[in-house]
Each structure stands twice: as structure tokens, then as C-alpha cells.
Amino acid sequence: MKEKSEEKRVAELFLYLTGIDNASLKEREMADAVEAVLDELEIPYTEDDTWKRTGGNAGNIFAKLEGEGEPMLLCAHLDSVAPALGKKAVWKEDGTITSSGDTVLGADDLAGVAEILETLRRLKERNIPHRPIEVLFTYAEELYDVGSEFFDFSQIRSKEAYVLDASGCTGTFLYKAPTIVSFEVQIRGLASHAGFQPEKGIHAIQIAADAIGSIQMGHVEEDTTVNVGEISGGTGTNIVPERCEVRGEIRSYVHEKALEQMNRMEEIFRTSAGRYGGEAEVTCRIGTYAYETSMGSTVVRRMRAVCKKLGFSFLPKESFGGSDNNVLAAHGIEGIVLACGMEQVHSVQEYTTVQALKETAELLTALACPETEEKIC
């Protein structure tokens, strides 16, 4: 009976959370809802004010549950990608939960948020002996980890982290992710009349075309990709365009290779601009830093032990996307990203299942148990 009611409870909490708007940098209402649950569970937490620097309206929530043994960190993000406004979850008879079809469901990452809160509730309610648990709910993760990047990591004691933010059946986890660099190029030429005196102008779009034409796109190496994804410029068909903006990204499992590609990109735009007498200003942002968590690490060995104990498949996977775990890794915390019941994410076909929500809460509860420490030796 208890199992049944806990299963229903995590699904109902998930449904409740999906009914709250949570666009990136506008997570205030979501943060309030999560804090209300923590208050109810009498778990102390803080919310930082880093949103004042990032243009948001809610901070990173950091909660702590005392326990015995080595501390562990659980992490999930509060925001969802667009279209995320006015989400209405539909709970189907077969246990699938979908959106109503015109928004994402928000299982990315509210499934993770609900599962963490359910795990905390279980540990307290059932008086299960557990390790010290630190919980980090970040904001604006979907904008390349904005919230976690600003978080003060000196507060975290854990050396081991489980980030709830991946697709796949229970037991799937990501142990490797790339550096992602996004870039923007502002090209400045000179406007002139396209019919009367085109020779007096400097054609910003032509500079962009010249540069883009000599950039290799896609897999430039096996572990590195380059993409120009956006271009805009010009003000009228009869004007030699003065400005053009180009945006794109670079990904690589090897951090240095991503930087190398970025330097190459900058050189290409500068050379093209120089050729036509214009200027190119290149800015870039390192959104995530590449990491690879070893199969011999404590976090992976504990995951293996718990999967075996609960009968879940142990499924390590590489990812070519980023998550908060990239930021944790950059701060010396060894982590993996767990599948947590989010499928077809970043689309209006996104869905979860009650089974996945239930299984992930079981997995987290087992990971929190000190006894798994002995079994991993």
C-alpha cells in the first residue's frame, strides 16, 4: 500500500509543478513552490541572489539534510525550454504523462525536481538511515548553465553528485560531455546607395558570406563540431549593408580543441573583414566545460551497485550536450547525469511515465543509503 501511495504522490507532485510557468530566468513561481515543499518537510535551505546579476527573478536553491557518512549532492534545474508557458499535463490511463500538444511537458527537468523532493520526503517519513544530502536546484540551466555558473560552490561539501537531467530507461546515465562555446560576430561595413554609388560602400553581408564560405561545418574532427546557426543583417534592398551579425557554436570532448576552433573562427572573420575593408568583432562564451567521469569513480561504482540491487540495467552513455554536471565537474565534484523520466525533450511531444518517476525516486533513495558504500568496495 505504501509503495502505491508513494508512486501516486510523486506523479501528483510532478503534475502540480508542470502547471507552473518556468521559463528560463523567470522561475520565481517555481522556486516558491519548491521552497514551500522544503518548508513543509522542515528542510533548511537558502536561495542566492545571483539573479540580480543575470537578469532573472529567482536564485539557486541550496538545501541540506543532515545524515551519517559521506555527503552526496542531488541536482536538478527549475527552468524548462520554450514553449513552456501554460503547460497542461495529461495523465493517460497507461501511465504516460504528456503535454496537451502545444507546449513542452517540462519533464526536463521537473521530473528531476519532483523525484528529489519525493526522495527527501521518503527518507524523512520512513526514518531511513541516510548519508548527508545536499540538494541544488539551479535556474536558467537551459541557457548554458547560467544559474550554476554563478552559484557559490564553497558551500558544497559533497565530492559525489547525481544530476537528474537525462533521457533513457532507469539505470541510464551520462558520464561524458563536451565543452560548448557559443560565439557571436558583429561585422561592420559601410552603408551606401546600392544603385547610385555601391563602390563607396563596404558590404557587411559579403564579408560574412566570404568568411562563412571558408568555415568547415559539422564534424571537423571525430570529437569536435562547428556550426554557424544564425545570420542577420542589412536594412533595405537598395542599401549596401553596413552591419551583419553571425552566431554559432563549437562543441568538443577536448576543451583545448574547442578553443582552437574558436581561434580559427576569429581569424577567418577578421581576414575576410580585412579583405573588404570592414571590421569583425568576435565575442564568445564558454557555456560548458568538457568532463569525463571515470568508470572507476565512487559515483559510478555506487550507481552500479544500486542498479544491481534494484534490478535496473546499468547503462553508461556519452552525451554531446551540456548540463549542470559540466559546472560541477569544473568545481572538482565527480558526478553523473541520471535518466529521470524525460523523453523527446525540447519538443511538444515530450513525455514521462509514472513508472519512471517512481523508479528514479527508488534509485535516489537507494543511492542515499550508507549501506551501498560497503557494497561498492
Tell me the catalytic residues. 79, 141
Cβ-based nearer residue to Zn ion, 47 or 109: 109
CA–CA separation, 262 and 281 (whole Å) = 13
Query: Which range binds Zn ion by CB under 5 A, 10-18, 34-42, 109-117, 234-242?
Result: 109-117
Rounded least distance, CB 81 to Zn ion, Å:
8
Closest CA to 327 of 144, 165, 182: 144
Rounded least distance, CB 299 to Zn ion, Å:
19
Instruction: Write the single-letter amino acid at 288.
Output: T
DSSP state of 154: G
Query: Which range binds Zn ion by CB under 5 A, 101-109, 259-267, 288-296, 330-338?
Result: 101-109
Q: How many residues bind Zn ion (CB under 5 A)?
A: 3
Among 6, 7, 79, 109, binds Zn ion (CB under 5 A): 109
Interface with Zn ion, residue 108, by CB under 5 A:
yes
CB burial of 49-84 (b: ≥16 within 10 Å; e: otherwise) equals ebbeebebebbbbbbbbebeeebbbbbbbbbbbeeb
Rounded least distance, CB 371 to Zn ion, Å:
30
Rounded least distance, CB 140 to Zn ion, Å:
11
Interface with Zn ion, residue 165, by CB under 5 A:
yes
Phi, psi of 72 (to 5 degrees): -130, 150
Rounded least distance, CB 359 to Zn ion, Å:
18
Contact 174, 336 (CB under 8 A): yes
**Vertex 146, ends 329 and 156: CA angle to 5°?**
45
Would you call the peptide bond into 83 cis, given omega within 30 degrees of 0 as the criterion? yes
Cβ-based nearer residue to Zn ion, 113 or 202: 113
Q: With both helix axes pointing from N to C terminus, report the angle between 2-18 and 28-40 in degrees, rounded to the nearest 10.
A: 150
Cβ-based nearer residue to Zn ion, 37 or 174: 174
Cβ-based nearer residue to Zn ion, 108 or 334: 108
Contact 200, 190 (CB under 8 A): yes
Q: Which of residues 184-203 bind Zn ion (CB under 5 A)?
A: none
> How many Cβ atoms from other residues are within 10 Å of residue 224's Cβ?
19
Rounded least distance, CB 287 to Zn ion, Å:
13
**Vertex 290, ends 250 and 148: CA angle to 5°?**
100
Cβ-based nearer residue to Zn ion, 249 or 350: 350
Contact 234, 241 (CB under 8 A): yes
Query: Which range binds Zn ion by CB under 5 A, 36-44, 83-91, 106-114, 230-238?
Result: 106-114
Q: Whose grid coordinates read 552500479?
A: 304
Cβ-based nearer residue to Zn ion, 27 or 108: 108
CA–CA separation, 192 and 109 (whole Å) = 50
Please report, as ranges, the residues that interact with Zn ion according to CB under 5 A. Answer: 108-109, 165
